[in-house]
Structure 1
Amino acid sequence: MKTIKLFYIPISALLFTGLFTSCNDDFVNTKPLNEAPKELVWADAGLAQAFVNDLYNGFGQGGFNEQMLASLSDESMFTHPGRGINTITESRSTPTDQGWIVDSYEYGNMYKYIRAANTAIENLKEPKFSNATQAKQMLGEAYFLRAYYYQQLLRFYGAIPLITKIYLLEDTDFTAARNTYEECVDFIVKDCDEAAALLQDAVKVEGRTSQAAAQALKARVLTYAASDLHDVPTAKGKSPTIAAYGNSEYLGYVSGSRVERWQKAKAAAKVVLDQTALAYKLDLLDSVTAAEGKANYIALAMGGKSKVSEIDAKRDLILGRFFNDLKDEGGAYVGRNNGPNGYHNWSGNTPTQLLVDDYEMLSGEKFDWNKPSHSSNIYANRDPRLSASILYDGANWKPRTDDVKERDPANQIQTGQYEVLNEKGGKVIQYGLDTRNSPVEDWNGSYMGYYMRKFVDGDPTIIDQNSRQRIPWPILRYTEVVLNYVEACIELGENDEARNWLNKIRFRAGMPAIPKTESGQDLKARYRNERRVELAYEEHRFFDTRRWMIAKETVGRPVTYISVFGSLNTGKKVSLYQYNTGNYTYSYKVNTIAPGIENRNWLDKMYFISIHRDEINRNNKLVQNPGY
């Protein structure tokens, strides 16, 4: 009896879950409880749907792992040592010690789900059950998911072997060479087109793919394909490591028109943009107030309705990874993993000063430490997305837990040092409740002086962040597609169109229009910064700095953090600290993280993660990436 059973045998890139096994225990008349016969699965619509549903597990926790990809970029630094993150941020990654790779990018795990998708595609092309409409939708889902998982591999490792065959135990050769980068892009785009056609009439279900998701994924893949890193002549001119590599066809396009690639990327994004029902507040003619801009951004981060803003922004979320209380999933603990230690949270992926500095002033002016009007109160009059994304010293937050609330009745983030009066009336220095010298939990404090606010539920009734949250991870957003469209327009010299769409995003966030005089490299820099702050913590910065080939100047620079000191003003008598500019004069100093905590360094081999040595040993047709 042939059965379907999920397990993984790591033979090169080609043996994955779903291998068929035999069961011939005639002396025992029982059936395995965790398996179903192949013939039964694909003849029954319900069982076939269950198989397709399992394909979504390749999303993992979305991006809500305890360690986030943001901490492999210049967005944040992970607080807790020994997790393999430094191996990548310090460019010490090797084929035998790659460093931390989350399962949604891990080579073998992605191929496991690709093989399962291949199985579904093969069996759903000619379904053996009568519900043709359901079979069509499931087939569209399988094409999309195969495209998505190949895209995850492509943007992490460069070109990979494209496998459509379902390997069985009786096969004798499990090796395969890497396809070219161009072939990989064409294959993924074709799968996206197949999925979009099949899902045209599909009913939208939360957490399931759709026609728009397939079209948005296509736009992302084509945007990457047109970028500097994947235009081999451009990449060779910027990187001696890539120039010396003998198999550049695995990294990008070795010939052809880059202009045409940008035109394809623009056209693919425009297909999604024309679906205006997906847009959220992108029809504004002027910027909203700062308060509205913050509320809009929080609503977007919450994946729809937020108890803070009571605004429904769910339609921007084209595809999300949702969590539910019936399963105790790690992604539901994003608040606990990243919240302040003064709330008994773990302060995992803490924002860097590098990120904070890139939020503009509310006027649209670039923040400048050399301007006293900026540096005297560094969080005042800033882009509203700053306070919606990051918890900083003095920011209002939720009530403290019962054991801490008497220390902070004002419910404000405390990441600095402050003068207070002791019982004798003398000045003493008090460390904030959310520092690494906190009287609450000193071992969990942020090194950066900041905490992640984005994706963390601001509901004041959720005091203990050990409670599960229901915030979806944004796999694909309409706003990302808008930004992809803007990038293509800029590269094609269509500055007016690019500014028009950038302003739509800025107006929603409470920011002013970009001056019409801004074009060329200035507009490109403005766009890249806009993308940085709008998509912060959404796993884009890691890839953007690489595909733009600016990693050395961004993720390769030392991490900076903030020190805050509150000097008690003359005549003020404060014994219980709270943030108050009437009682205190605050000073801010930018510091570089101490050697030994994280020594960030950039080597060009890190444009692509290596293929693990074990995979190379199993499959002698694989060629390693440059620099390894």
Structure 2
Amino acid sequence: MKYKMIYRSLIAFILFTGCSQNLDLAPLDTISDATFWKTASDFKLGTNNLYLSLPVFDRADLESDIAFTYSNPISNGTYQTTETSGLWSTPYVYIRRCNNIIEKADLFSDDAEIQRFVAEAKFFRAFNYWNLFRLYGGVPIITKVLDTDSEELYTERAGRKETVDYILKDLKEAIEFLPEQSSLSATDIGRITKGAANSLRARISLFEGTWNKYHNESGANEYLDIAISASQSVINSSQYELYSGKGNESYRYLFIEEGDESEEAILDRRYQVDVFAHQFPYVLDQSCYPPTKKLADMYLCKDGLPITKSELFNGYGTMTSEYENRDPRMSMTMIIPGTKTNRPLYTDPVINYPFFPQRVGNTGYICYKYMSELKYDRPRDNSNDYDLHVIRYAEVLLIYAEAVFEKNGAISDADLDKSINIVRNRVDMPPLTNQFIMDNGLDMREEIRRERTIELALEGFRYDDLRRWKIAETEMPQTIKGINIKVPDWQQAFLDDGVKNLYADEAWQSNTDENGFMISEKASGRYFDPEKHYLRPIPTKEVLINPNLEQNPGW
């Protein structure tokens, strides 16, 4: 079933990259707009191409403070206006394709089947405008297919509110014609549903509501209300639930093969071996995705308390002590040093250290999330097909909790039980209650944000969260740190199975703070200017093409 969906998408990609222009005549030897767009099947094939605009496996949290391999220009604030042009231009490629589908469907407004695929096109138009909006703020809104001489090629940027309202309008209109998850046929599993549109609407509204609240702009509650309503619609639909197929280990297995097509998946980027596959486990070994000390320290102890308050925290005295008595998601997100796991290129489980078998030990933490347990007897390329969860139900539950709290300045235990505590229950962590917060001198906002960061760690949310909460100027310039390598475990020249301990070398031992924690990147080399870095610069190339584009402040 996954095969059919992706195979059609690839055919559509070839088809529409070759005939996307408006033509006056219908060629006799090729398919064109003049001969296509006649049936619902045509519109379905056309929208298949849009699924290629979904994100692929990457390491987006390297742009933040919770993962580090090498110096990242987004994370440390050294990027320039000449970079990342594709982040601007690629969404507009897909927006054009969406506009084309919507225009061609004007003659079929009474055809419910075709209107379903128009709704998919509106979803993807919103999705691609969202990818622009989250980075740049207001952008030019193009609502029709343009020719090379169209005046709209030089459209000015819309305002922030106009842009986000346009995105939310597209999603609202799409919801009316999209099916529920449970009504999808077997061959349509993976297509856009009401749940996907409502979830994206909730994600965007939470972003804008909290952005406006913490950046002192008007309209915060308007968007928080939408976030509450949209997330509640997904919850009340009873279409989704958290993956539990592996018991207490379900969080770990959700992100590899076992989690495909689970009831937690609201929208996935789908893969199939030998058709459209990936090699992300190899990426994790070769170029890595190491968490930072900041992320590691966020995990609560099993009593539900932070490490600074819990008697269960065993400190950093050994290479494994900080993992003891912690939220189980910690050891399902990062590998405890010295344990054995299945790894690419190894036929049997292999012992793990930060520099073995992975190649980059720059924080000392080892990424476990996304690490498949398959035996790798296939060629290195095109060998993995577990899906990337673009939107999953846990995020929707966390959106609901945060939006309720940010709107009201408080959240009831009943609302916690229908959101955050469902997420905690999967890993057998104590529930979050108002009494627990009060008894232990905690802050509800901080705990809601902590839960979001932990549950969605290494899924690419952190950069946006820091900016919408307006704490990036505090968090991003801090020194990036790793494990403590001054403890006895890391002083010996060789570890288990004869693995040479690189951290025993003077070059590593001399690069620590006063407490022995590795320094991966010093604060002196990290920058976040609140006058400019909350928005990315429009690429210089785009400003040269369209002089009417107004550059973002400070750039």
Give the TM-score band, short-chain normalised: 0.7 to 0.9
Instruction: Provide the rounded CA distance (Å) in 1 between the counterparts of 2:62 and 2:495.
Output: 38
Q: Is the 8 A contact 1:400 1:411 kept in 2?
A: no
Q: Is the 8 A contact 1:161 1:177 kept in 2?
A: yes
> C-alpha displacement at 1:498, in angstroms?
4.2
Instruction: Provide the rounded CA distance (Å) in 2 between the counterparts of 1:448 and 1:356.
Output: 11
Match of 2:64 in 1: 73
Q: Is the 8 A contact 1:489 1:495 kept in 2?
A: no
Deviation string, structure 1 residues 440-491 (Cα, Å, up to 9, x no partner): xxxx332111222112212356698656212211111111111110001112
Instruction: Provide the rounded CA distance (Å) in 2 between the counterparts of 1:592 and 1:391.
Output: 20
Q: 1:452 aligns with which of 355, 363, 367?
A: 367
Q: 1:162 aligns with which of 136, 141, 158?
A: 141
Gaps of 5+ in 1: 9-16, 80-84, 237-253, 283-287, 307-311, 340-345, 416-431, 436-443, 580-587
1:474–1:139 Cα change, 3 Å: same
Instruction: Provide the rounded CA distance (Å) in 2 between the counterparts of 1:263 and 1:52.
Output: 31
Please list, as runs of the form range in 1=range in 2, the aligned pairs for 1:590-605 lying within 5 A after superposition. Answer: 590-593=517-520, 599-604=525-530, 605=532
Match of 1:76, SS? coil
Deviation string, structure 1 residues 160-214 (Cα, Å, up to 9, x no partner): 1111022123435521111121112221111111111111366262332111111
1:48–1:463 Cα change, 3 Å: closer
Match of 2:80, SS? coil
Match of 2:106 in 1: 125
Q: Is the 8 A contact 2:292 2:363 kept in 1?
A: yes
Match of 1:499 in 2: 416
Q: Is the 8 A contact 1:144 1:195 kept in 2?
A: yes
Q: 2:445 aligns with which of 514, 518, 524?
A: 524
Match of 1:89, SS? coil
Match of 1:607 in 2: 534
Q: 1:386 aligns with which of 322, 330, 342?
A: 330
1:91 matched to 2:39: no
1:534 matched to 2:527: no
Percent identity reads: 24
Q: 1:179 aligns with which of 153, 158, 165?
A: 158
Q: Is the 8 A contact 2:479 2:521 kept in 1?
A: no
Which amino acid letter does the alignment assign opposite residue 449 of structure 1?
G
Q: Is the 8 A contact 2:480 2:521 kept in 1?
A: no
Match of 1:490 in 2: 405
Q: Is the 8 A contact 2:36 2:42 kept in 1?
A: yes
Match of 2:189 in 1: 206
Q: Is the 8 A contact 1:399 1:463 kept in 2?
A: no
Match of 1:126, SS? helix
Deviation string, structure 1 residues 127-168 (Cα, Å, up to 9, x no partner): 39x9x3431221111111111111111111111111102212
> C-alpha displacement at 1:394, in angstroms?
1.9
Instruction: Provide the rounded CA distance (Å) in 1 between the counterparts of 2:171 and 2:222.
Output: 19
TM-score by length of 1: 0.73
Instruction: Provide the rounded CA distance (Å) in 1 between the counterparts of 2:140 and 2:64.
Output: 27
1:230 matched to 2:212: yes
Match of 2:426 in 1: 508
1:460–1:356 Cα change, 3 Å: farther
Instruction: Provide the rounded CA distance (Å) in 2 between the counterparts of 1:91 and 1:413.
Output: 32
Q: 2:255 aligns with which of 298, 301, 319?
A: 301
Q: 1:255 aligns with which of 213, 218, 226?
A: 218
Q: Is the 8 A contact 2:481 2:521 kept in 1?
A: no
1:216 matched to 2:202: no
User: Which structure has the greater CA radius of gyration?
Assistant: 1
Gaps of 5+ in 2: 1-13, 501-514
The answer to which of 550-559 and 538-547 deviates more is: 550-559
1:192 matched to 2:192: no
1:151 matched to 2:130: yes
Instruction: Give the paired residue count.
Output: 510
Match of 1:299, SS? helix
Which amino acid letter does the alignment assign opposite residue 413 of structure 1?
N
Instruction: Provide the rounded CA distance (Å) in 2 between the counterparts of 1:369 and 1:465.
Output: 46
1:313–1:55 Cα change, 3 Å: closer
Which amino acid letter does the alignment assign opposite residue 179 of structure 1?
A
Which amino acid letter does the alignment assign opposite residue 212 of structure 2?
H
Instruction: Provide the rounded CA distance (Å) in 1 between the counterparts of 2:332 and 2:326.
Output: 11
> C-alpha displacement at 1:7, in angstroms?
5.9
1:315 matched to 2:295: no
Which amino acid letter does the alignment assign opposite residue 195 of structure 1?
A
Q: Is the 8 A contact 1:74 1:354 kept in 2?
A: yes
Match of 2:241 in 1: 279
Q: Is the 8 A contact 2:344 2:375 kept in 1?
A: no
Deviation string, structure 1 residues 315-369 (Cα, Å, up to 9, x no partner): 111000011123354xx11100012xxxxxx033221122111111122121249
Deviation string, structure 1 residues 285-329 (Cα, Å, up to 9, x no partner): xxx9xx943x120232237x25xxxxx871111000011123354
Match of 1:433 in 2: 356
Deviation string, structure 1 residues 411-468 (Cα, Å, up to 9, x no partner): 32123xxxxxxxxxxxxxxxx6347xxxxxxxx3321112221122123566986562
